[in-house]
Amino acid sequence: MSLFTNFQWKPLFFRVNTFPMKSILFSIIMLSFGAVSCAQQPAAKESSNSKTENTMNTEGLSVATLGGGCFWCVEAIFQELEGVEKVESGYSGGAVKNPAYREVCNGTTGHAEVVQVYFDPSKISYQEILEVFFTTHDPTTLNRQGADVGTQYRSVIFYHDDAQKAVAQKVKDEIAPTIWDDAIVTEISPFQSFYKAEDYHQNYFSDNPNQPYCQIVINPKVAKFRQKFADKLKKN
């Protein structure tokens, strides 16, 4: 059964260019905070390129690899979803091995910012994971999420087996169009590799709540997610 059988679909991502006046007001807000985009926000430990290896026991868990714009946003959503045991931010889909954040931001490595979502399939299905994914980012804007522009911010699903591929195609073709009016441009590609992002990117929203990007972009998005899916959130 779908996680949202009786749910009235309303996307949680709003494109301000649909409303000229709101677009003007949004631009004023953006200017008042400087340039509020993922790549331009300072991080508390950005001088460090350390990457701690994942030591979590993932036996019995499934994994989804998803790109929906800045990984800080996507991570913040899935960390609160019941059945998700761990979320890691990183890079997939490129040709450069073990890329650094600034390389990816330049858009020359071919990587997308993604999250690895480790989830318990007895509590939440892969289809349900994808339904949340398509609801909480805009899959109709090519290589762009809001002010974050570039191939590194593309909407993408990296499937790990044929079963995931079939589910991803089904959700993209049958469910996502009921949420969004415009054509879905989400890429569906085979998973090849995942490079965990630098340590300062992990748990970014939780660790940096006062950053302008967190306040203006992530916080309202998470608040809407919590309101819409209150019964699907972790209890603790």
Distance CA 154, CA 58 (A): 27
Angle between helices 219-228 and 71-78 (to 10 degrees): 30
Query: Is the backbone of residue 189 left (phi > 0), alpha (psi -120 to 50) or beta?
Result: beta
Place of tokens 């430990």: 45
Q: Concatenated DSSP letters for 148-204?
A: EESGGG-EEEEESSHHHHHHHHHIIIIIHHHH-SSPP--EEEE----EEPPGGGTTH
Strands 62-68 vs 195-196: parallel, antiparallel or unpaired: unpaired
Query: 45-53, long-range: CB within 8 Å, 24+ apart, which pairs?
Result: 45/198, 45/199, 45/200, 46/198, 46/200, 48/198, 48/199, 48/200, 49/100, 49/198, 50/198, 50/199, 51/196, 51/197, 51/198, 51/199, 52/196, 52/199, 52/202, 53/196
CA 193 and chain centroid, separation: 17
Residues noted as catalytic: 70
Q: Side chain identity at 49, as an amino acid letter?
A: N
